[in-house]
Amino acid sequence: MKMKAIRGTIINTLFLSGFFIVLFASLYRYYYLKEFPAFIEVPCDPATELCFHRDCEVDECPPNDFADYRQFSIPGNVLVTCDDIDGCAEVCKKEDSVCEETVCGDDPEDVCSEVPVPESMSVIEPESESETQE
């Protein structure tokens, strides 16, 4: 009988120790190191960029009221250094940024703006048959 009680105590002690190790490791990683992804939305010009789009008249919009926006995933330890969302947007728009942009269209449920056509790629009209026969 004593063996079962000792075995039960050891199992309980190991279980509780493992639980607290996982708890403290998670707190250290997410609270102290801030290793978590955060998502930010920044304004987007659909005339020059491919943007996410939402209809604020139909859907409920967040407080930023962006109908056209770009979305970035930014590490939590970088997010806490930003003064505001505009500051984070500037960090994410740099070439050597640690942010990852979520490209509109990767998910079939994404609602995207029209794909902008660069001015250098103007539409070439096909020649009509009368012009080619001359």
Considering only residues 52 and 117, tell me which one the structure prediction assigns the higher pLDDT.
52
Arithmetic mean of pLDDT, 3-15 = 85
pLDDT band at 122 (very low <50, low <70, confident <90, very high): very low
Considering only residues 77 and 120, tell me which one the structure prediction assigns the higher pLDDT.
77
Is the sign of the CA dihedral 23, 27, 33, 35 positive or negative? positive
pLDDT given at position 120:
53
pLDDT given at position 127:
55
Mean predicted lDDT score pLDDT of the chain = 77
Which DSSP helix (H) or strand (E) runs through 21? helix 2-27
Considering only residues 133 and 105, tell me which one the structure prediction assigns the higher pLDDT.
105
- pLDDT tens digits, one per residue of 55-111: 877 767 777 778 888 888 888 887 777 777 777 878 777 767 788 888 887 777 777
The C-alpha angle 53, 111, 65, rounded to 5 degrees, equals: 25
Compute, in degrees rounded to 10, the torsion defined by CA atoms 25, 31, 37, 42: 180
Closest by Cα among 61, 35, 45 to 93 = 45
Q: What are phi and psi of 73, to 5 degrees?
A: -100, 125
Instruction: Inform me whether the pLDDT recorded for 45 exceeds 50.
Output: yes
Predicted TM-score (pTM) of this structure: 0.61
Cα–Cα distance measured from residue 105 to residue 133, given in angstroms and rounded to the nearest whole number: 43
Percentage of the chain lying above the pLDDT 90 cut: 11
